[in-house]
Amino acid sequence: KPVKNVDLWQRLDAALGQHQIKWEWVKGHAGHPENERCDELARAAAMNPTLEDTGYQVEV
Protein backbone atom coordinates (compact mmCIF):
# COMPACT_ATOMS: atom_id res chain seq x y z
CA LYS A 1 0.00 0.00 0.00
CA PRO A 2 1.40 3.45 -0.85
CA VAL A 3 2.84 5.52 1.98
CA LYS A 4 3.16 9.26 2.44
CA ASN A 5 6.61 10.84 2.13
CA VAL A 6 8.05 7.88 0.22
CA ASP A 7 11.14 9.95 -0.61
CA LEU A 8 11.89 10.47 3.07
CA TRP A 9 11.35 6.77 3.87
CA GLN A 10 13.78 5.86 1.07
CA ARG A 11 16.42 8.22 2.46
CA LEU A 12 15.93 6.79 5.95
CA ASP A 13 16.20 3.24 4.62
CA ALA A 14 19.46 4.10 2.84
CA ALA A 15 20.90 5.69 6.01
CA LEU A 16 19.96 2.70 8.18
CA GLY A 17 22.35 0.41 6.33
CA GLN A 18 25.29 1.97 8.16
CA HIS A 19 23.84 1.46 11.64
CA GLN A 20 22.44 -1.20 13.93
CA ILE A 21 18.89 -0.09 14.68
CA LYS A 22 16.48 -1.49 17.23
CA TRP A 23 12.93 -0.23 16.69
CA GLU A 24 10.78 -0.07 19.79
CA TRP A 25 7.06 0.65 19.62
CA VAL A 26 5.77 3.04 22.28
CA LYS A 27 2.06 3.68 22.66
CA GLY A 28 1.54 7.35 21.89
CA HIS A 29 0.47 9.80 24.55
CA ALA A 30 0.11 7.15 27.23
CA GLY A 31 1.85 9.05 29.98
CA HIS A 32 5.24 7.64 28.96
CA PRO A 33 7.67 10.35 30.21
CA GLU A 34 10.09 10.18 27.28
CA ASN A 35 7.23 10.13 24.75
CA GLU A 36 5.58 13.13 26.38
CA ARG A 37 8.90 15.02 26.35
CA CYS A 38 9.46 14.23 22.66
CA ASP A 39 5.95 15.44 21.88
CA GLU A 40 6.61 18.66 23.79
CA LEU A 41 9.89 19.24 21.91
CA ALA A 42 8.29 18.47 18.54
CA ARG A 43 5.51 20.98 19.15
CA ALA A 44 7.98 23.67 20.21
CA ALA A 45 10.15 23.05 17.14
CA ALA A 46 7.11 23.18 14.84
CA MET A 47 6.15 26.56 16.28
CA ASN A 48 9.65 28.01 15.91
CA PRO A 49 11.47 26.49 12.91
CA THR A 50 15.11 27.48 12.59
CA LEU A 51 16.16 25.68 9.41
CA GLU A 52 14.92 26.01 5.86
CA ASP A 53 13.31 22.76 4.72
CA THR A 54 15.02 22.08 1.39
CA GLY A 55 14.53 19.19 -0.97
CA TYR A 56 10.98 18.50 0.16
CA GLN A 57 8.04 18.95 -2.17
CA VAL A 58 4.70 19.77 -0.57
CA GLU A 59 1.81 17.76 -1.98
CA VAL A 60 -1.06 19.99 -3.05
Q: Could you read off the pLDDT tens digit of each residue along the chain, which spans 60 residues? A: 888 889 999 999 999 988 899 988 877 767 888 888 988 999 998 888 777 777 777 776
Q: Helix H segments across the chain?
A: 6-16, 33-47
Q: How far is the C-alpha of 50 from the C-alpha of 57, rounded, in Å?
A: 18
Q: What is the pLDDT of residue 2?
A: 86
Q: How far is the C-alpha of 9 from the C-alpha of 20, rounded, in Å?
A: 17
Q: What is the pLDDT of residue 8?
A: 92
Q: Would the pTM of this model clear 0.75, i.e. be above it? A: no
Question: What are the angstrom distances between the C-alpha of 57 and each of 4, 54, 60?
Answer: 12, 8, 9
